């Protein structure tokens, strides 16, 4: 059986609004992306994951789609999109489109029709409940009730996100048929992958308060596979906040014919109080983090496929979250990259991660633009949290951290736009930008470039077995990869304090974030702050 091309690929996520603006209106766009393909080619990535570029009222920054077939005028035109697909193909880069299939915008023609009359055929495209009061106590992911009253039909409709994002009724065959048609439209245009937003919610059963992993979820996914990408050379990844390893295998086992991999978020809860919301912070539980990564590596080995990521448009910047974004920004960013890219699975890089972009220095509630952050502030204020507590959580975890404009150079607005950027640029852009990174042969950028190249050239990183070392060590994240008689060891000091690793034998240093001898003893390894290395054991 032919090996899937995406197994040794690296994905780069672009958040179009914040990547590069070509026309000075302050909003990133498709032509801006086209102007930077040389940069992505230089980095060495294989796939662009493109966050939504469809028409949208932007209640949730494009994840509220009003036309699945179009391109938002903010971002360009459908012809511009076709040119981007072609130019990417010319330089060996594939595009993975973001698809939001759980819900649409309330400005989508389907919903406009749906709320016009109960007997309208589109009414059943969404989930409605009659009555004089809210159907049940299910909550929106953005806070508040998941039900919104529609005066037009005198019913409540379901929305697991913003009230302008009504949930689709996947039990309706016509909904599914429309979705298959739309997916095939983009495949025919040359799209080579899909990232499926909150896909674990499409099987919801609201009357039983089942939000994720509903009883028909996998039936729907298998139908989608049959009707669209299943017999095409396409890569698929589903966003699944509620997945454990058993569920992960159901999604990504090749013989089940569903998806190729999922984004699960178990490891990203390592600094969150158990059973609480993401805003309820605790210090990083490093042992939990290691064990969780190792569990997914072991459980999916030979039975599915992992996606590997630290960042995306919904998560804060990893170098600020679990690295050291001050005196050891470069070292800790390289260390975090080493931990991730050394494992088995498909690595994802979020724009700016490869130059060590940091969280934004927010100072007041007015600094936050994202609907989730605004709703969280209001809800927690009403529940008696102090201003200081709320701001502390928002600064640490708000999605706004990931959405500040890409820092290209030290000129106006970090070279992102000639106009006024839609969102403030991080003030550190004069010290942290692409231009500086490309001029420094020891930069984070070139380290990422080397990691990407290692994966392309060494099957051990794609297929090698994973074994966690020193699982209870409170400073060191180390593991081996073994394949075809070769053995590599990946050694990372996760903290500022020096650490000691006792191993055995000698190793040829393949990559390190500190200067090293070519061959080193592995008997006693004294690790400097945030030191990371990949060695072949000899």
As annotated, the active-site residues are: 197, 239
Rounded CA gap, 199 and 237, in Å? 9
* Phi, psi dihedrals of residue 78, rounded to the nearest 5°: -65, -30
Which residue, chain included where needed, has tokens 């969404």?
Answer: 126
DSSP string across 338-358: HHHHTSSSEEEEETTGGGT--
Q: Strand pairing of 499-502 and 524-527?
A: antiparallel
Is residue 305 within 8 Å of 352, Cβ to Cβ?
no
Rounded CA gap, 286 and 473, in Å? 9
Is residue 385 within 8 Å of 349, Cβ to Cβ?
no
Which residue, chain included where needed, has tokens 């820092």?
Answer: 407
Closest CA to 399 of 129, 50, 53, 17: 17
Rounded CA gap, 417 and 395, in Å? 25
Give the single-character DSSP code of 139. Answer: B
Query: Which residues neighbour 276 within 8 Å (Cβ) at sequence distance 6 or greater?
Result: none
Is residue 452 within 8 Å of 45, Cβ to Cβ?
yes
Is residue 104 within 8 Å of 175, Cβ to Cβ?
no
Residue 270 tokens read as 């390592």
Closest CA to 455 of 19, 97, 7, 3: 7
Strand order in the sheet with 147-150: 128-129, 155-158, 147-150
Give the single-character DSSP code of 149. Answer: E
């Amino acid at each position: 059986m032919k090996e899937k091309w995406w197994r040794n690929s690296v994905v780069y996520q672009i958040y179009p609004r914040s990547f590069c603006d070509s026309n000075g209106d302050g909003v990133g766009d498709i032509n801006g992306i086209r102007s930077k393909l040389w940069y992505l080619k230089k980095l060495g990535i294989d796939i662009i994951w493109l966050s939504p570029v469809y028409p949208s009222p932007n209640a949730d920054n494009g994840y509220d789609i009003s036309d699945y077939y179009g391109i938002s005028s903010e971002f360009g035109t459908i012809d511009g999109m076709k040119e981007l697909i072609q130019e990417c193909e010319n330089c060996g880069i594939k595009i993975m489109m973001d698809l939001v299939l759980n819900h649409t915008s309330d400005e989508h023609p389907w919903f406009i029709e749906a709320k016009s009359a109960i007997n309208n055929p589109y009414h059943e495209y969404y989930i409605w409940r009659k009555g004089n009061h809210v159907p049940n106590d299910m909550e929106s992911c953005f806070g508040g009730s998941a039900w919104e009253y529609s005066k037009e039909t005198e019913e409540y409709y379901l929305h697991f996100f913003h009230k302008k994002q009504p949930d689709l009724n996947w039990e309706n065959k016509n909904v599914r048929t429309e979705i298959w048609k739309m997916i095939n439209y983009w495949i025919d245009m040359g799209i080579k992958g899909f990232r499926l937003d909150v896909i674990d919610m499409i099987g919801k059963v609201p009357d039983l308060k089942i939000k994720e992993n509903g009883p028909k979820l996998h039936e729907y996914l298998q139908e989608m596979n049959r009707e669209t990408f299943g017999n095409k050379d396409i890569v698929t990844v589903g966003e699944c906040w509620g997945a454990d390893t058993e569920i992960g295998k159901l999604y990504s086992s090749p013989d089940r014919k569903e998806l190729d991999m999922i984004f699960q978020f178990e490891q990203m809860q390592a600094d969150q109080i158990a059973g609480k919301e993401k805003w309820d912070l605790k210090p990083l539980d490093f042992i939990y983090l290691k064990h969780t990564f190792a569990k997914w590596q072991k459980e999916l080995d030979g039975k599915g496929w992992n996606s590997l990521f630290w960042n995306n448009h919904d998560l804060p910047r990893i170098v600020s979250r679990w690295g050291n974004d001050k005196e050891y920004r470069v070292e800790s960013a390289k260390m975090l990259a080493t931990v991730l890219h050394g494992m088995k699975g498909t690595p994802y890089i979020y724009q700016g991660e490869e130059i060590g972009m940091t969280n934004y220095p927010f100072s007041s509630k007015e600094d936050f633009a994202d609907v989730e952050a605004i709703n969280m502030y209001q809800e927690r204020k009403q529940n008696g949290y102090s201003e200081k507590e709320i701001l502390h959580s928002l600064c640490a975890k708000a999605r706004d951290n990931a959405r500040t404009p890409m820092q290209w150079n030290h000129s106006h607005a970090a070279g992102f736009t000639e106009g006024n950027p839609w969102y403030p640029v991080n003030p550190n852009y004069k010290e942290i930008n692409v231009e500086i990174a490309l001029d420094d042969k020891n930069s984070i950028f070139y380290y990422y470039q080397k990691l990407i190249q290692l994966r392309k050239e060494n099957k051990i990183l794609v297929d090698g077995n994973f074994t966690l070392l020193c699982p209870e060590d409170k400073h060191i994240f180390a593991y081996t990869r073994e394949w075809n008689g070769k053995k590599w060891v990946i050694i990372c000091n996760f903290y500022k304090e020096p650490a000691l690793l006792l191993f055995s034998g000698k190793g040829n240093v393949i990559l390190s974030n500190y200067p090293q001898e070519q061959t080193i003893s592995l008997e006693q390894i004294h690790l400097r702050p945030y030191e990371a290395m990949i060695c072949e054991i000899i």
